[in-house]
Structure 1
Amino acid sequence: MATACSAGLDTGFAALDVGKMIVLGVVQGVTELLPISSTAHMRVVPALLGWPDPGSAFSALMQLAALGAILSYFRRDVAELISAAASVVVRRDLKSPGSRAVIGIVLATAPIVVAGVALAPVLNACGSPLRSLWVIGASCLVMAALLAFAEIRARHVRNADEATLRDYALVGLAQVGALIPGVSRSGSTLTAALGLGFKRAEAARLSFLIGLPAIALAGGKEAFELLRAGLDAHAWMLLFVGLISGALASFVAIWGLMRYLEHLPSWPFVVYRGALGVFLVGAVLFHWL
């Protein structure tokens, strides 16, 4: 399916209408925070409905909706992190648990920033090969297998407050995988945190807090690029609609995920991702999509 470009950005969303943007905003908002890959759904749902691909620019900007949901849901944690960050800067406090968390999040963010800058020309290009259904399907299958392995091997005994700098670094390295469409940022970091022995809900909490800077940077960068692209008023209105619907859906998704993981395992996500990967690979082989 052809894509639309503006100043070199993949801006297929501009060809959609308000109703379609609400639907895609909800789909993006839910799948951005669940470990099931928002990129996969942004390729599959429009294709099944016969709509244009909304493009990588839409997916990247919609991370701001997820950011709003995470900040709202984890507002106490965020407030504590801001206070700890002030202590690190003003008092040079490097030993408290809060300071360790701040330093750990910075450490975890560095790899994806470096990799993201290096891969930006490929990731955001019109018709990027990394957004192919084959790549996304294969990524879903790999991540389903890794999440299953983590669920089997995990001890589920640690709290997020016990995370060491080594834990932050390892989860941060796993976060780099999210640059590959189909991997899922929440999926890769949740899998890594489970593998490190964290309780399921605590692994999700750690995943979301570690992802805050990366999500903010990615969404902010895309907003800046879209401002430079000279979009018309209609395109900006569509983005606003998508952001509002996506933010509401993201909050519901994070609320539901945290409550689910407090009591139940991640097997439904393993099965879903595996089935989605098989479907996408089959769609490529048999030319369904």
Structure 2
Amino acid sequence: MKRNLISGTALPLIIVANEKGGQGKSLVSLAIADHAYLHEAPLGIAQIDTQHRLAYALGRSVLTIAPAAKDARRDPAAEARSFTPLYSMIEKAAGRGASVLIDTGANQASRFAHWAGLVDLAEDLTLWTVETTVIVPYVAEAEAMRQAAQTANLLLDRIPQARLMLVENERDGLFTHLHPASDAASVHRTMIAPLKAQSTTLRMPAIEAGSWRPFEASRCRFVQVAQMPVEKVMALTGLPRPEAKIARGDVAGWTATVFEELDRVLPWSKRGGEHG
């Protein structure tokens, strides 16, 4: 049985995760932040990582929970305390009617899940009427899907009431084109397909790296690119006018497709608080 989509009556906590790096987590998180921005929805943003891509692109502060220190095993309590600011953010957001987006870096989902189990976060989320969504992106590659399934199962074990959304990142090819005898197809059948029965699957088309990279380097948001004057695109990318138009069109088309997918599953509320 599929878990229901976000109802629109509870406050969403959105966790973007996959233990494997390079799966499009930052792209998904940035798209969600911009989607909330367009809907004037208050959104707190946190990352469990040391990279600052979201903060740079969004031009705002992002709560950062750094990776565990090397001596964390000798002082597990210190590791647990490192998540206290995140707990406070979720609690305060629930109190003022805002949502929270958590972007977990590579190899950090298990760390977050351990902490969530330790403090019984699921109980508090129910108490605060916070509806949780776990979003797991992955590309069409065996290990990527294997770790995606493991990440999803781990987080659902710690937060059983969470909704699961799988994001099929088509960067490395279409999932329908997997060779039936390949390891990737086997993992998709045995590990991803069972999760699809209890989740919603979103499509994330490939985005031309050469088109998006200059905008990303200039700390642009997806919502800015589509309306950007071609002269500014030319200045940012160094491309001549025709190619600048193509690059802008590539990013705008990708954004439109992803936002249509998010429209199906994220009915934001315009309740009080800060938005992205």
Please give the TM-score of this superposition, normalised by the length of structure 1.
Answer: 0.27
Higher share in strand: 2
